Every structure is written in C-alpha cells, then in structure tokens.
Structure 1
Amino acid sequence: MAVDEHLMHALVQAARAARERAYAPYSKFLVGAALLDDHGRLHAGCNIENAAYPQSQCAEASAIAHLVLTGSRRILAAAVVGVAEEPVTPCGGCRQRLREFADETMPIWVADLQIVRAHYTLGQLLPASFGPSHLG
C-alpha cells in the first residue's frame, strides 16, 4: 500500500497531537509518534517519563502498544514529531521495535511543529537489521 500525501499529513498531525499529551516533567522533551497499520488505522503514542529514568517509554513504543492492543501486527508507515535543532528520529531501541512489525521499506516522516523535516525508510535508519524472518 503506497502512502499518499494525505495519509502522510494525517500521520504527522496525529503525532503532533500525541506529542501534546506527552508526560515529560524531567527532560521537558516532548515526542509524539503515529503509525499506520495495514487496516488503514492510525495509532498514536507519546513519550512517558519516569523518575526512575530507565522505566521511561518512548512515543514509538507507546504507539506500537496501541497498535498491538487493537489486534494489528503490521506497520505500513510512521511519523515522529519532536522539536530540536536536528530532526528527531526514533532511537535505536525503537528502530528495532518498529522492525518487528515493519519491513525495511516502511517510510518514516520526521517533523516538528511546522514542517516535515526529513523522510527515511526504516532500512535507512536500521540497515542490515535483524527481524522476524531470521527466526523462521
């Protein structure tokens, strides 16, 4: 399924809305993510910090949890919204989490509050990745 301009815009808007709900009292670094599943549904998530820092959760992980909760198992596209000098891409752990449900061709749009700043495929962000096919 090709992701058109309309769907990309919807993903970015959902990620921006999710970012506004982030719980980041320590870092003040708000991140939102949105995923498109193979049923055409959007699943959004935000980062959730914890005073015990290792217990925090990334926006992408929150969105994946929502996707799985609805019974979906396939991600076709993603958007991540964060505000920083450089575009905010998924962290290494979230790249691997996304890989569990998507292939290397999955598009990822990275945006801030005004514009889409970059576009990648999962394969560009996680080259030569390990995935479900390695386990048969």
Structure 2
Amino acid sequence: MQRAYAPYSHYKVGVAGLVDDGRVVLGCNVENAAYGVALCAECGMVSALHATGGGRLVAVACVDGEGRPLMPCGRCRQLLWENGGPAMQLLTASGVRTMDEVLPDAFGADDLASGEGADDRAPGQGGEE
C-alpha cells in the first residue's frame, strides 16, 4: 500500500491475495484527477493475478493506510467473486467471511444467457418479436 497513488484523497489502500498455487498477488489503489477512472486496489490485484499466470483466489485481505481491514466496494466484490468464487475467504473488520456472505446471490457466468438462449428471456427483457 505504500506504493498507492492517492494524491487527491490521501486514502491509501493495499490488498494481498493468496492464489490456489501458493503465490501472493498484490494491488494498490491508483487515483486520477478524473475521479471516475481511479482504480481500486482490488482491480490492480486481479490484474496482477492474471498477468502472473492466473489461478483462483483463495483468501484476500484489503487494508487502509493504517492496516485496518476494509470491505471492498460492490464492484470489487464482483471481481473477487469472479476470480475466487463463493468460498474465497475475505478478511473484514468483523472477521474472516466468505464471498458468499459478503456478496449473497452474486451474479456470475452461469447467469449469462448463451447466444442461443435469447428466446429464454423473460418478457420485457429483450428477445421479443
């Protein structure tokens, strides 16, 4: 987190993830003057995961500049779910919790309709003639 780039908020965030092959991948937040394009630490960690060979996240800890556990935002919880699954462990201020607990009823790859499943959509969801 010491390499976090937070010149605007001064709120540095660091994250470490344990991968199923034993590697540890890191990330930090990167702010931008155009606030909407800032990157959360978890985004950098997921990028590092794939840049260094992929795999599945087993456990993740996200902390602030003082080392206190942080709950990832909704977007980052979705990234963690996609790359770790429901059993991935997450350090939170209230202890270790699974992704299933912090993102119940998560949206995942199984929820995406295949190209041929467009006709299976509910009325009002597209696919009507």
Q: Quote the Cα distance in structure 2 between the aligned partners of 1:83 and 1:131.
A: 31
Counterpart for residue 107 of structure 2: 130
**Equivalent residues of 2:5, 2:31 under 8 A apart:** yes
Q: Give me the whole-angstrom Cα distance separating, in 2, the residues matched to 1:50 and 1:125.
A: 28
- Map 1:78-97 onto structure 2 (within 5 A): 78-82=60-64, 87-97=69-79
TM-score w.r.t. length of structure 1: 0.75
Task: Tell whether the 8 Å contact from 1:36 to 1:77 is kept in structure 2 after alignment.
Answer: yes
Output the CA distance in 2 between the equivalents of 1:93 and 1:75: 16
Deviation at 1:133, TM superposition (A): 3.0
1:83 CA displacement: 5.1
The number of residues matched between the two structures is 112
Partners of 2:104 and 2:79 in 1: how far apart? 14
1:82-103 alpha-carbon deviations (Å, 9 max, x no partner): 158x852100000001111111
Q: Which residue of 1 aligns with 2:53?
A: 71
Segments of 5+ residues of structure 1 without an aligned counterpart are 1-18, 112-116
When the two chains are superposed, the root-mean-square deviation of aligned CA atoms in Å is 2.0
- Please, which moves more after superposition, 32-41 or 75-84? 75-84
Cα offset for 1:118? 2.7
Identity %: 44
> 1:73 Cα shift?
3.2
1:23 equivalent in alignment to 2:5: yes
CA distance in 2, matches of 1:20, 1:132: 34
| Runs (5+) with no aligned partner, structure 2 | 115-129
Quote the residue 1:121 is aligned against. Answer: 98
Alignment partner of 2:45: what SS? helix
